Amino acid sequence: MTVSRKKDFIPGIFNYCDRWCERCEYTRLCRLAADLEKAERRRRRKGKDPADDSIDGAMEEVGRSFEVVARALRKRARKEGWDLDAIDTAAIDAHESDLRRRCEQHPLALEARQWCREGMKLVKDLQPLLRSEGEDLQRRGDFMDVQDEADRFEALAQAMEVVAFDSTLVAAKMRRAIDGLLESADETDFMHEIGLEDANGSAAVILRCLKRDRPALVRIYEHDERLEEQALGLLARLDRMEKGLAEVLPGALTFVWPPKAEE
Ligand code: SF4
């Protein structure tokens, strides 16, 4: 991966992306991708696995990022004269847990959690079928033309990959979208705007995912009648989530991503 100079990055492009960096066409313009590459190089220098995704590796990166944020916050507090010790953490905790409870019970959050469970189950059921079809194709490919079948097989494998990736992503982003929606409803003015913007951005990611999930699920539905019912169930959930988001967060429909380079 070749990363651009700092001035070429699009500010905040990573905020409302799907984090599927391997497939992203904006890697060159993304500060987060550059940071991840830097972290990889750091691990390599230390003689660690460059692609380390272990808990230790992740925690090391999280710790580093957290320290950067904490330093920036302390600096800002000094500049603005804020007393960070005077913050009522008990009231904040109570508000957070009430918000968490309401978020978990929201119909769209429930829908997304079921979507995640059923999506993972579909992938689990599809995997052995794909494996045996792949083996069969390989066997027959030695003495007959199986190109068309191989193309269909590849498309099906791609569809499975998309559903697998989006099963968890949609659930996580829905949580954030609903959290922002509820939080913004509790706030006024500036904080209301920030919460709503974040909710719309998160919902926009979900809508982009669902757009690619629809053809992926249709492909799985058409491929094997044993999976028809599961794929149909997920398509129905997809419809409900799309309609529900358009209703509660209409700003998601016009949310612009990637942001303009000059912003
Ligand atoms: S914008 Fe692209 S490269 Fe950057 S974090 Fe998101 S998916 Fe990865």
Ordered by start, the domain boundaries in the chain are 6-79, 97-254
Residue 35 CA to its chain's centroid (Å): 18
Tokens 């019912």 found at: 229
Q: Is the per-residue pLDDT at 228 higher than 60?
A: yes
Tokens 């491929």 found at: 223
Instruction: Cis check for the bond before 50: say yes or no (omega within 30 of 0).
Output: no
Sign of the torsion angle spanned by Cα atoms 247, 95, 168, 261: positive
Q: If you average pLDDT over residues 82-106, what whole number do you get?
A: 86
User: Closest Cα partner for 205 from 173, 234, 159?
Assistant: 173
Q: If you average pLDDT over residues 171-195, what whole number do you get?
A: 92
249 pLDDT band, cuts 50/70/90, is very high
User: Closest Cα partner for 43 from 32, 56, 30?
Assistant: 56
208 Cα–ligand 1 center, Å:
14
- Closest residue CA from atom 8 of ligand 1: 21
Residue 107 CA to its chain's centroid (Å): 20
C-beta neighbour count of 27 within 10 angstroms = 19
User: Closest Cα partner for 116 from 65, 168, 64?
Assistant: 168
2 Cα–ligand 1 center, Å:
14
For residue 16 and ligand 1, the question of a CB distance below 6 A is answered with no
What is residue 1's predicted lDDT score, i.e. its pLDDT?
47
- Cβ neighbors of 240 (< 8 A, separation 6 or more) are 111
Six token digits for residue 202 = 């998160």
252 exposure class (CB count in 10 Å sphere: 0-12, 13-18, 19+): buried
Q: If you average pLDDT over residues 2-27, what whole number do you get?
A: 84
For residue 9 and ligand 1, the question of a CB distance below 6 A is answered with no
Secondary structure of 167-221 as H, E, C letters? HHHHHHHHHHHHHHHHHHHHCCHHHHHHHHHHHHHHHHHHHHHHHHHHHHHHHHH
d(CA 126, CA 124): 6
User: Hey, which of 3, 9, 14, 173 would you mutate to test ligand 1's pocket, going by the most ligand atoms within 8 Å of its Cβ?
Assistant: 14
At 119-140, the pLDDT tens digits run: 999 999 999 999 999 999 999 9
Atom in ligand 1 nearest the alpha carbon of residue 258: 1
What is residue 57's predicted lDDT score, i.e. its pLDDT?
59
What is residue 13's predicted lDDT score, i.e. its pLDDT?
93
Six token digits for residue 134 = 């792949």
For residue 33 and ligand 1, the question of a CB distance below 6 A is answered with yes
C-beta neighbour count of 228 within 10 angstroms = 13
pTM: 0.82
187 pLDDT band, cuts 50/70/90, is confident
What is residue 3's predicted lDDT score, i.e. its pLDDT?
47
